[in-house]
């Protein structure tokens, strides 16, 4: 593989937000060597490292840093809230600033130190019109013509949220595989199941497109909070309990703000042997 030093290999960081885990490769000092093939190889939890998303750090003329996201199957993801939060935390700690901007396919996102080790990111305004999510045909996105009447939301990537009596009783693999590639979602979709714990408290589980079941998802959390508020189930500021832990979502006039914990677990190098085998 071109671009990796034959002695030291390719450096990476392993991070996670509430168990939603990422491999991060910094390509700001040179041309990117990351491809869909590399993403699939690194994403293999038996023969590579394993991740929910791979994040490439790039230079940007529009923001402090640019981010590109890959799913474990090698496809790209337009948005990844937990990864954005992880990178923002790392860069703010590294540079000593309390706020920064990050360019993603979603647009330029604002991040800030929320205190007590927490990081807050504005994921932008939700996309609520069928064409923006996108769906394959015009319809009311509040209740889709699918059994269970899920809500569709765009957060730079598409989401399909089912509100149920108890998420513990749902076969998430079955509902995820059945709806990720539903004909109404031409770009596939993330799938969530959620139930209401209180006026401003939700429990949710996530199936991510191109990945499968994940312990958490930032963009999915934003989508579920927006869907719950639109349906009158909660207010616009909620706590969501995911399999990996809690996250706070606040749908404000300037966008959907997400606040939660992050972790830089370890750093390492992909070896020349691994890279040459691609």
In this structure, how many other beta carbons lie within 10 angstroms of the beta carbon of residue 139?
Answer: 13
- Using the 8-state DSSP alphabet, how is residue 126 labeled? P
Residue 4 lies in a domain: no
What confidence score (pLDDT) does residue 8 get? 63
What confidence score (pLDDT) does residue 6 get? 44
Q: Residue 105 sits in which domain range?
A: 10-122+262-276
Residues 87 and 109 in one domain: yes
Residues 270 and 235 in one domain: no
Q: How far apart are CA 133 and CA 92, in angstroms?
A: 31
Model confidence over 42-82: pLDDT tens digits?
A: 999 999 999 999 999 999 999 999 999 999 999 998 889 99
Q: Which two tokens stand for residue 244?
A: 């990996």
Q: How far apart are CA 22 and CA 43, in angstroms?
A: 9
What confidence score (pLDDT) does residue 106 get? 87
What confidence score (pLDDT) does residue 262 get? 96
What residue ranges of the chain have pLDDT lower than 70? 1-8
Instruction: Say which CATH number the domain at 18 has.
Output: 3.10.310.10
Contacts of 42 by beta carbon, 8 Å cutoff, 6+ apart: 12, 23, 48, 49, 51, 54, 270
What confidence score (pLDDT) does residue 1 get? 46
Residues 218 and 174 in one domain: yes
Query: β-strands 10-17, 263-270: how paired?
Result: antiparallel
Residue 135 lies in a domain: no
Q: Is the peptide bond before 134 cis (omega within 30 degrees of 0)?
A: yes
The maximal CA–CA distance of the chain, rounded, in angstroms, is 58
Q: Is the peptide bond before 60 cis (omega within 30 degrees of 0)?
A: no
Domain count of the chain?
Answer: 2
């Amino acid at each position: 593989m071109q671009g990796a030093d034959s002695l030291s290999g390719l450096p990476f960081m392993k991070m996670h937000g509430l168990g939603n885990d990422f491999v991060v490769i910094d390509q700001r000092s040179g041309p990117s060597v990351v491809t869909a093939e590399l993403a699939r190889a690194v994403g293999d939890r038996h023969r590579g490292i394993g991740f929910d998303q791979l994040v490439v750090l790039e230079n940007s003329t529009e923001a402090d840093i640019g981010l590109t996201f890959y799913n474990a199957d090698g496809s790209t993801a337009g948005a990844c809230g937990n990864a954005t939060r992880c990178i923002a935390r790392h860069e703010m700690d590294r540079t000593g600033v309390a706020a920064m901007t990050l360019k993603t396919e979603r647009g330029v996102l604002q991040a800030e130190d929320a205190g007590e080790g927490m990081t807050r990111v504005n994921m932008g305004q939700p996309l609520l019109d069928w064409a923006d999510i996108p769906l394959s045909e015009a319809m009311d996105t509040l209740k889709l013509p699918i059994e269970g009447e899920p809500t569709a939301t765009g957060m730079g990537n598409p989401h399909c949220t089912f509100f149920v009596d108890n998420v513990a009783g749902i076969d998430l693999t079955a509902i995820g595989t059945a709806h990720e590639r539903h004909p109404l979602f031409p770009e596939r979709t993330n799938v969530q199941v959620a139930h209401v714990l209180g006026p401003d408290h939700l429990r949710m589980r996530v199936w991510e497109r191109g990945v499968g079941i994940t312990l958490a998802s930032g963009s999915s959390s934003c989508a579920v909070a927006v869907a719950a508020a639109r349906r009158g189930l909660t207010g616009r500021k909620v706590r969501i309990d995911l399999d990996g832990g809690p996250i706070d979502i606040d749908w404000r006039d300037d966008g959907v703000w997400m606040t939660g914990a992050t972790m830089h677990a370890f750093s390492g190098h992909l070896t020349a042997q691994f890279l040459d085998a691609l």
